[in-house]
Structure 1
């Protein structure tokens, strides 16, 4: 009876020792969290293994994630799958639908994004004026023909013969009429008055009306002659050439950039229908574009996004430095959190290790008891 009790006791003690040592070994993975000291001497096995090697473990986890888990090739294969394309397109379609049906206006969204009140009209005027001032200052020494679009100068060259013909035609029509005759008579009287008594005598003798009657058809004939048209055309061409060679600064004083910019922005606001949507809720007009966006634009956009990510994935992952991100995040974890994470995953396995230690300790104790009994009998 005593022999059986001794064997049972030794098996129990062995089981207890095996279970306790395994449980202690598991706890020593994490605890103590901080090193313990006696004076200046640090006690061995403090802190626990994981707290002591946390930085090395964080680096290894980061390298493992980049080398074996989030590799460019594995992510490429994921991005190429049709279910990713469909899920991304469906998600974007839902987001677009939500966006288009909101009660906010485009102006509200822009102001919310910018974080301040936006005065778009005033900003447009300021931008237009600044751009014009910068352009005028930059090009002030250039000839007008260098800063005016070629289409404008070509149009001017084309219009000179038209203007010359119109000027002579209008002049001929004017002097052919009664008003032209009256104007000739006034000019003739004024001319004769300044030429002395002899000319006045001749004018009174022949009569200014008779002189005008003879002079009027000659002036009309002169204006209708092709030579006169060519003369006027040459004069206009000379003036147009001189004007094109003038520097931009010669007309800069006549350009009021404040007025021009204000009128330009007002014209755009008045004439462009799209600008009226700035202050209308999206829900009033945007849903009508839903089918076009979801059916035409989104598939093309998703395809481009997919191709962009696949082509530039290695460079993108390299710039993200995921290994450093993972290392930094693991290093920020408290040891208590690391212990909780590991135990939440492996608590059952750790318990089984403890029980296995107890079982193995019990078996060892049992064999020890049997051996002791056999030796005592011998």
Structure 2
């Protein structure tokens, strides 16, 4: 046989064997997907390498992701980086702005989250809340003296009010005594007193002559009521009573009416004074308009920074509770082998072709070398 033809044949055979062998080796990474049996005998090298080691691969990938790729330190650096914080702040500001610009009524927003917004129900809930708050607050103050609950300003107002009350009482009594009804009451009181005294009363009336005792006593009473010393006496008396009241614990005054009654009346009064229906019809935009700029420019950035800081502090616990390695392992185990093959080949198809061509090239070179050895030895 012609030596040149022999060398060509051996080069071709070597190239074919090298190329086919490398191509088969690449395919055997994935194929076959399942073991092949001849009777009870399983063919060697079935299934392919990746299907056979899929579970081990999943475990190793899970460990690699948690220990080397998706680490707590790496995530913390990402979270605390200025670029990420700026992105999150901008996104949160945009979302907050959109939310606060909505023309949707408040009751519609609440209904979407499952909250009953009827005026009666809201009022009832408000009454219950105010009653509970009243009893909760009063539990801390019931045994304290009333004076301890008043500020210095209010104590001054109480003193001023007491003086005004004394003046008002004096003025009211004077006006009443000056009236015909008041004078008649005083006269009747004196005459009834004298009549009830029997002989002594008759003797006093006889001494007075034609002018009755009432006509003489009435001006003296009226003069005394209008005197400044009467006003001072009233003030002293009222201040004394007020001081006694101030020393009493709050419970004394509350028990006179009943704590439940006070709490319920207070709660109903407050609830009925609030325009609940009007509030429910107002839009989110109307509610948030007075403080939109403050929320967007100050509150949202502060909330983002605090939220990222909290998340950064909790990152280890969150990752541990999420069991990321198990998630990766489960996903890899559940991954379809044909899809995995398409993905790997789609990414590395050119490199695999080059490996096949390299196998053919090496096979051809080996065939050339073998042909030359055969010719030299033959």
Indicate whether the TM-score tops 0.5: yes
Q: CA deviation at 1:129?
A: 1.7
Q: CA deviation at 1:22?
A: 1.9
Q: CA deviation at 1:174?
A: 3.9
Deviations 1:288-334 (A, max 9, x none): 86655554445545554555555555555455443333333223312
Work out whether 1:151 is the aligned partner of 2:149: yes
Deviations 1:228-258 (A, max 9, x none): 5433433343355446452845532672545
1:322 match: 324
Q: 2:218 aligns with which of 205, 212, 217?
A: 212
| Counterpart-to-counterpart distance in 2, 1:115 and 1:288 | 27
Distance change >3 Å, CA 282–CA 334, structure 1 → 2: same
Q: 1:342 aligns with which of 327, 341, 344?
A: 344
TM-score, normalised with respect to structure 1? 0.76
Distance change >3 Å, CA 311–CA 236, structure 1 → 2: closer
* Pairing of 1:255-270 with structure 2 (within 5 A): 255=261, 257-269=263-275
* Pairing of 1:33-182 with structure 2 (within 5 A): 33-79=33-79, 81-112=81-112, 114-115=113-114, 117-119=116-118, 122-123=121-122, 125-130=124-129, 132-133=131-132, 136=135, 144-146=142-144, 150-152=148-150, 161-162=159-160, 164-177=162-175, 178-179=178-179, 180-182=182-184
Deviations 1:347-376 (A, max 9, x none): 22122222222222233333334433444x
| Counterpart-to-counterpart distance in 1, 2:155 and 2:296 | 51
Q: Matched residue of 1:255: which SS?
A: helix
Contact 2:146–2:246 (CA<8 Å) still a contact in 1? no
| Counterpart-to-counterpart distance in 2, 1:218 and 1:149 | 34
1:238 match: 244
Q: Matched residue of 1:104: which SS?
A: coil
1:356 match: 358
Q: CA deviation at 1:28?
A: 1.8
1:186 match: 188
| Counterpart-to-counterpart distance in 2, 1:63 and 1:5 | 56
Q: CA deviation at 1:48?
A: 2.0
Q: CA deviation at 1:210?
A: 2.0
Distance change >3 Å, CA 82–CA 244, structure 1 → 2: closer
Q: Which moved more, 1:150-159 or 1:177-186?
A: 150-159
Q: Matched residue of 2:346: which SS?
A: helix
Deviations 1:52-80 (A, max 9, x none): 22222122223222333333444454455
Contact 1:175–1:181 (CA<8 Å) still a contact in 2? no
For structure 1, the 5+ residue unaligned runs are none
1:9 match: 9
Deviations 1:115-163 (A, max 9, x none): 45444773364244245247538967x8734397943487776566545
| Counterpart-to-counterpart distance in 2, 1:175 and 1:249 | 32
Q: Which moved more, 1:327-336 or 1:125-134?
A: 125-134
Q: Which moved more, 1:41-50 or 1:251-260?
A: 251-260
Q: How many residue pairs align between the two structures?
A: 370
Q: 1:224 aligns with which of 221, 230, 244?
A: 230
Q: CA deviation at 1:24?
A: 2.0
TM-score, normalised with respect to structure 2? 0.76
For structure 2, the 5+ residue unaligned runs are none
| Counterpart-to-counterpart distance in 1, 2:109 and 2:244 | 56
Contact 2:58–2:330 (CA<8 Å) still a contact in 1? yes
Q: CA deviation at 1:49?
A: 1.8
1:28 match: 28
| Counterpart-to-counterpart distance in 1, 2:348 and 2:329 | 22
Q: Matched residue of 2:144: which SS?
A: helix
